[in-house]
Amino acid sequence: MSGHLAVVGLGPGDARYVTPEAEAALAAAQALYGYGPYLDRVPVRPRQSRHASDNREEATRAAAALRVAAAGARVAIVSGGDPGVFAMASAVCEEIEAGPDSWRTLEVAIVPGVTAMLAVAARIGAPLGQDFCALSLSDNLKPWDVIERRLDAAAGAGFVLALYNPISRARPWQLGAAIERLRRHLPATTPVVFGRAVGRPDEHVSVTTLAEADAADADMATLIIVGSRATRVVQRNGQAPLVYTPRAVAEVSA
């Protein structure tokens, strides 16, 4: 029997963001694995088992799904946003690399989804219209000084920054420290976007500046975009402002 494992991105929240490819992979699965709140977004289908697990149990969940797929089942693991962005696809690859040879013969499909930074950017204009990079502020899987060095390098080189995993109950100070750090490199007026729960009923998107940015305005469902020196805010009468980064780069330091 040859099993099949799909690692499926559900997008940021709203069903409109689930791609037809993701829909098809979910419909075809005999067993679904995932973090409970993500699994809750997937409609219940008959003859399909559901295995919810905790957020931090990515390796165990990946191994469990691989075992079932290796036994011949069609399995899908769900992920919020895109499965390859700070999510399950790497956990699955890690388990395959470390696991038994039989896991290497499995057919594995990574099904992309709309990642949070794209959903937030689209709400506000085009802040990622020039070179940008994505950083996770979580120091669960990497030391904090690596994060600081990456913040320094990225902001110093003129990248727009998309900050994932900004804050949680277990990581209360990291976002404040990151904002402080970025103030060393960037002007006080640098636009900063807080996008919370984008694509969900409690969505909230706000624009501020690096000087005014307050870590208390973020929670674990928030993605933060910090502009570069080139990022601009266009005020509009009767419409929300547009935050964008122009396509042309004028100076090396821009």
Check if the beta carbon of residue 99 is closer than 8 Å to that of residue 63.
yes
Does 228 interact with ligand SAH (rule: CB under 6 A)?
no
Closest CA to 144 of 132, 133, 152, 155: 152
Chain centroid offset of residue 230 CA: 24
User: Would you say 4 or 196 has its CB closer to ligand SAH?
Assistant: 196
| Closest separation in Å from C-beta 135 to ligand SAH | 10
**Beta-bridge partners for 209:** 191
Radius of gyration for the alpha carbons in the chain, expressed in angstroms and rounded = 20
Backbone angles phi, psi at 185, to 5 degrees: -105, -25
Does 223 interact with ligand SAH (rule: CB under 6 A)?
yes
Does 221 interact with ligand SAH (rule: CB under 6 A)?
yes
Residue number with the smallest Cβ distance to ligand SAH? 81
Tokens describing residue 50:
């559901």
Return the residues of window 186-205 that contact ligand SAH according to CB under 6 A.
Answer: 195-200
Chain centroid offset of residue 85 CA: 5
Does 52 interact with ligand SAH (rule: CB under 6 A)?
no
User: Would you say 103 or 164 has its CB closer to ligand SAH?
Assistant: 164
Summarize as ranges the residues that interact with ligand SAH (CB under 6 A): 12-13, 79-82, 85-87, 115-116, 120, 164-166, 195-200, 220-223
